[in-house]
Structure 1
Amino acid sequence: MTRDDDRPRRTAWKTSAPPAPRLARIRDRWLSAATTALQDDPLVAGAALVGSLGAGRADDWSDVDLLLVVKDEHLDDYAVPDRLPRGPGLRAFAIDARHNGPVGTRAVSAQYVVDDLPLWVDWYIHPVSLATWPPDSTVLFDRHGITRSLSEHRGDHEPATPKTPDEHKAMRLALIPIAAKQLARHSPDAPRTIQFLGGSPEGDWPDHLAAVRQLLTQFDPLAHPESLAAAHAYLDLLETLP
C-alpha cells in the first residue's frame, strides 16, 4: 500500500494572479515612454497593443506586445533592436523573433530592466502594404488609416533565423522571469516552462520556485549581469506574495 507521504504532490492551480502594482507601474512607465518615442518617429505609420494588454485581459504580471506598422522600405531597419525605443531603464536582451510573425513581417523579443526588474516586450513589425489591426487590439495611434481585420492571421510564418549558443543561453536566462510569472499566476504552464529551461517539473509550488532559483546558478554573473540581477529581483518579489 502507498502511504499519503509517498504520493506525488499536486498543485492546486488557480485562475488569477495576486496583485503586483510595482510591476504594473514599471510597465506603464515604459509603455508611455515608448509610445511617445514611436509617435515622434515619422517612419512609424501606427502602433497598437496586442496580446492581453490589447484585448483588455492583462493583469499586473502581463508583458507587452506591440505591433508597429512602418513604411515597406524600412521594414528591416526596425528589425534591429537599436532602432526600437528603449524607454526608461536599459535593454538587457534582444533577439530576432520573426518566426513569431506572418510571412513578410519581422519581430523582435526583448527584455528591458526598469527599476531593477525585468520587463519582456515582443515587438511585431509589419509593412504598411500588409498591415491590418487585429480584432483584439488597442490602437495607440494611426497615421495611415489602417483597417481592422475581422479575424486573427493564421497563415504561414517567417522562418526562424539561426541563433548562436550565447544567444540561446541569454534567451534562457531572459525566460526565467516568464516561468516565475507563470508561478505567480499558479499556471499549469509553469512546470512545462521550467522543464524547457532545464529544471525539474516535479513537485509543488515551493519546489517549482526552488527549481527556478536553481536554474539561475548555471549562468555566469559576468556574462549577462543586468538580466541575471533582474531575474533574482523578480524571484525575490515573487516570494513576498501571499
Structure 2
Amino acid sequence: MSVTNSGPPAPRLAHIRTRWLSAVTAALDSDPRVAGAGLVGSLGAGHADDWSDIDLLVVVDDARIDDYAAPGRLPSGPGKPAVAFDARHNGPRGTRAVSGQYVVDGLPLWVDWHIHPVSQAGWTVDSTVIFDRRGLGRLATTFAEHLNAGEHEPATAKGPDDHQALRLGLVPVAGKRIARRSPDTARMIEFLGGPHAPAASWRDHLATLRRLLGGFAATGPPASVSAGHAYLDLVAETL
C-alpha cells in the first residue's frame, strides 16, 4: 500500500492489530525453534494505516517448515481463528504460507503468514526485523520481488466450502478498499460474487457487501459473519 492510498483514522482497528501483534510476536520469540520473525507488507515498509492487515515472515529450520505451516500450529494471540487457508502458492518453491482471519474484540483481522526455511530466508529492503537468532543477511529486493522469484509452490486443492469461506473472510478486505476509496474496489466485489458495477457509488458498494455477507450467514462461521458486520459498520462511518 502506498502512503497516498491511506484510509481515514480507525483507532479500534489499530488497537486490536497492536494487541494481536504484541502477543503473537512474544509467543514467536519465546519459541526457540523459530529462527527469526519480521514484518513485511505495509507494516514492514512503514506505510501502514489503521486499516492495514498484517504480513508476518516466520523463519524456521528447513526440517520444521511443515510443522509451522498449519493454522493450529501458529500462535493466535488474543484472537480466535475464524477462517484459514493454505496459501503456499503465493510463494517460491520450498516456502509455505497461511492466510486467515482472526476475530479480536468482535472485529476481524486478516493475517498473511509467510513461513520460510533458513536456507531461503533473508530480510528484504522493505521488512522490519522483530528478532533474528541466526544473523540472516539482508536482500537487495523487496518482499514482493522475493516472493515472485522463480517457480512457485503448487496450490493445494480447495473444495466449494473452502472457496465460500475465503469469500466470507475477504468481505472486510473489500470493505477496507471502500474506506480507502480504492479504484480496485469494484473488481474485488465482483470476485466475491457481486455484480459487475465499476461505476457504482461507495454507498452502493457497501450495500452490495452487506448483501453478500448476509448470503454467507447460513454456511459461514458465526463469529466471522458477526465480525464482518461490525467491520462494515466502521466502513459506513467513513461515508
Does residue 1:81 correspond to 2:76, yes or no?
no
Relative to structure 1, the CA distance from residue 75 to residue 25 in structure 2 (aligned partners, 3 Å threshold; closer, same or farther) is same
Equivalent pair of 2:168/2:220 in contact (CA under 8 Å): no
Deviation at 1:125, TM superposition (A): 0.3
Letter in 2 for 1:169: Q
Task: Give the whole-Å Cα distance in 2 for the aligned partners of 1:15 and 1:124.
Answer: 24
Tell me which stretches of 4 or more aligned residues in structure 1 moved more than 2 Å.
220-223
Equivalent pair of 1:102/1:157 in contact (CA under 8 Å): yes
What is the correspondence of 1:163-242 to structure 2 with a 5 Å cutoff? 163-202=158-197, 203-221=200-218, 223-241=220-238
Task: Give the whole-Å Cα distance in 2 for the aligned partners of 1:68 and 1:15.
Answer: 27
TM-score, normalised by the number of residues in structure 1: 0.92
Equivalent pair of 2:27/2:75 in contact (CA under 8 Å): yes
Deviation at 1:222, TM superposition (A): 5.8
Task: Give the whole-Å Cα distance in 1 for the aligned partners of 2:237 and 2:52.
Answer: 18
Letter in 2 for 1:186: R
Letter in 2 for 1:219: F
Task: Give the whole-Å Cα distance in 2 for the aligned partners of 1:114 and 1:72.
Answer: 32
Equivalent pair of 2:178/2:202 in contact (CA under 8 Å): yes
RMSD: 1.2
Deviation at 1:164, TM superposition (A): 1.5
Q: Sequence identity, in percent?
A: 64
Equivalent pair of 1:132/1:146 in contact (CA under 8 Å): yes
Task: Give the whole-Å Cα distance in 2 for the aligned partners of 1:67 and 1:126.
Answer: 7
> Unpaired runs of 5+ in structure 2?
none
What is the correspondence of 1:127-142 to structure 2 with a 5 Å cutoff? 127-142=117-132
Task: Give the whole-Å Cα distance in 2 for the aligned partners of 1:15 and 1:49.
Answer: 20
Equivalent pair of 1:221/1:228 in contact (CA under 8 Å): no
Deviations 1:199-230 (A, max 9, x none): 12421111111111111121134641011111
How many residue pairs end up in the alignment?
A: 229
- Equivalent of 2:59, from 45, 51, 69? 69
Deviation at 1:135, TM superposition (A): 1.2
Greater gyration radius: 1
Letter in 2 for 1:38: L
- Equivalent of 1:44, from 27, 34, 46? 34
What corresponds to 1:125 in structure 2? Answer: 115
Letter in 2 for 1:217: G
Deviation at 1:15, TM superposition (A): 3.9
Deviations 1:161-180 (A, max 9, x none): 00021111101000000100
Task: Give the whole-Å Cα distance in 1 for the aligned partners of 2:195 and 2:231.
Answer: 20
Equivalent pair of 1:201/1:208 in contact (CA under 8 Å): no
> Unpaired runs of 5+ in structure 1?
1-13
Task: Give the whole-Å Cα distance in 1 for the aligned partners of 2:186 and 2:30.
Answer: 42
Task: Give the whole-Å Cα distance in 2 for the aligned partners of 1:85 and 1:161.
Answer: 22
Task: Please state whether the residue corresponding to 1:174 is helix, strand or coil.
Answer: helix
TM-score, normalised by the number of residues in structure 2: 0.93
